[in-house]
Amino acid sequence: MAKAPVLTPQAEDFPRWYQDLINKAELADNGPVRGTMVIRPYGYGLWERMQQEMDARIKDAGAQNAYFPLFIPQSYLTKEAEHVEGFAPELAVVTHGGGKELDEPVVVRPTSETIINDYFSKWVQSYRDLPLLINQWANVVRWEMRPRVFLRTSEFLWQEGHTAHATYEDARDYAARIHTDVYGDFMTNVLGIDVVLGRKTAKERFAGAINTLTLEGMMGDGKALQLGTSHELGTNFAKAFNTQYLSKEGKQELVWQTSWGVSTRMVGGLIMSHGDDNGLRVPPRLAAVQVVVMAIKGDEAVAKVRELGDQLKAAGIRVQVDDRVDTPFGRRAVDWELKGVPVRIEIGPRDLEAGTAMLARRIPGGKEPVQITDLAALLPKVLEEDQAQLLRESRERREARTSDVATIGEAAEAAIAGGWARIPWADLGPEGEAKLAEQAVSVRCLIAEDGSVPQADDAPGTLAIVARSY
């Protein structure tokens, strides 16, 4: 009888494969309250690396980290009508505290535009206070009706940036800088996902924004996943919270604002972009563990892998030593393969006699013997080759499964078949977008013919990217 696979094959049931992988790779568990999740240490290690890489880029863009309260007075959300309308179905509201009914209900933070703007209105007095660039790492709660671990949960972790500027142009350019230099650079060069940078349609725009910039990735099943957004808020929140500054000319002016965020949804995107039937494949630049050095058996092998682990750490490689020789080697190897560690270095008694180790590469697959003394110099090159392969595969999948179409019917057909469609926005428009929605197909973003981000929905030559999505 054939041995049952560790994971449900992707081609057989992609959603089941995704859930199997999260469980078997020990990334997360469902929480006790429907829609919540417990992120396990290996999964949280991925998020920590994402935080580190993102935080450095956010600070390079001039923003500083701060923290704002989890509880927001309900009255704050009602100050910006479009904003509260957009979030109303997802709100978690606290009506009692300390055994008593509250004088005013408080909302558990779904996003922080309102409470941050309340403080911006206090902190901004003069043009000298601008631009004000704030970011926070936090949790948020949006009551989710159809939860899926990492992709849609009632509570999730994220960063949210909020800025105030003296002019529309400054705010517009800063939102675009976050979109490209922070999010685009990270997702392409660290996550290894060939994201499309585009502009959301008016229907898909963030509640309260005048423009939303998005990054869309194609997952292994051809569906789209929104991996991050950067919003131009105009003066909508400034009007609601009376956030004004005294200009150089001595006039009171409203500030122009942005907000932007990415979340633990990126972990789900990582899984669905790079995972295969053997488990996760983690991009080396992201991996908390780039190389695992494994002792197959024997005391001498244990001593050698510990020594080698120290040498590789000194060479700047993120290493974990697996010297658990009381656990069968095959089981350990499968576990590391499921977790997607880019490289395994396997050493046993025979390897020691020959002065070699077996190098197993998770991303391209395959094994080969190498001289132990060559590893410190060889591994950085191997890791960069594997990083490049993941990005190349992501790009090739997106290009192969994206079709240029001329009609709404062709766009829907391509999306339902498991791909993306490109169609001129002038031929689709809001009416066509509504027709697609009836078939659970959406316009993920608008792009220019050259792949850049159009400055307006109706800019000449604008194309719509159409797909089914998570």
pLDDT tens-place string over residues 78-103: 887 676 676 778 899 999 999 999 99
Strand pairing class (463-467; 442-447): antiparallel
* pLDDT recorded at residue 467: 98
Q: Is 274 helix (H, G, I), strand (E, B) or coil?
A: helix
Q: Is 352 helix (H, G, I), strand (E, B) or coil?
A: helix
**What whole-number distance in Å separates Cα of residue 327 and Cα of residue 330?**
9
Helix (H) or strand (E) holding 81: helix 81-87
pLDDT tens-place string over residues 410-451: 999 999 999 999 999 999 999 999 999 999 999 999 999 999
* pLDDT recorded at residue 2: 62
* pLDDT recorded at residue 78: 84
* pLDDT recorded at residue 133: 98
* pLDDT recorded at residue 145: 85
* b/e code 5-25 from CB counts within 10 Å (16+ = b): ebbbebeeebeebbbbbbbbb
**What whole-number distance in Å separates Cα of residue 148 and Cα of residue 154?**
9
For the chain, the first-to-last Cα distance in angstroms comes to 37
Strand pairing class (319-322; 291-295): parallel
* pLDDT recorded at residue 102: 95
CA dihedral 26, 28, 34, 35 (to 10 degrees): -140
Other beta carbons within 10 Å of 207: 18
* b/e code 341-379 from CB counts within 10 Å (16+ = b): bbbbbbbbeebbeeebbbbbbbbeeeeeebebeebeeeb
Q: How far is CA 311 from CA 273, 349, 385, in A?
A: 32, 20, 21
For the record, the structure tokens of 243 come out as: 């956030």
Name residues whose C-beta falls within 8 Å of residue 93's C-beta, 6 or more positions apart in sequence: 74, 105, 106, 107, 108
For the record, the structure tokens of 206 come out as: 């963030």
Sequential DSSP letters for 292-347: EEEE-SSHHHHHHHHHHHHHHHHTT--EEEE--TTS-HHHHHHHHHHHT-SEEEEE
CB 259 within 8 A of CB 113: yes
Per-residue pLDDT of the chain (470 residues), as tens digits, is 567 789 999 999 999 999 999 999 999 999 999 999 999 999 999 999 999 999 999 999 999 999 999 999 999 988 876 766 767 788 999 999 999 999 999 999 999 999 999 999 999 999 999 999 999 999 999 998 899 999 999 999 999 999 999 999 999 999 999 999 999 999 999 999 999 999 999 999 998 899 999 999 999 999 999 999 999 999 999 999 999 999 999 999 999 999 999 999 999 999 999 999 999 999 999 999 999 999 999 889 999 999 999 999 999 999 999 999 999 999 999 999 999 999 999 999 999 999 999 999 999 999 999 999 999 999 999 999 999 999 999 999 999 999 999 999 999 999 999 999 999 999 999 999 999 999 999 999 999 999 999 999 999 999 999 999 99
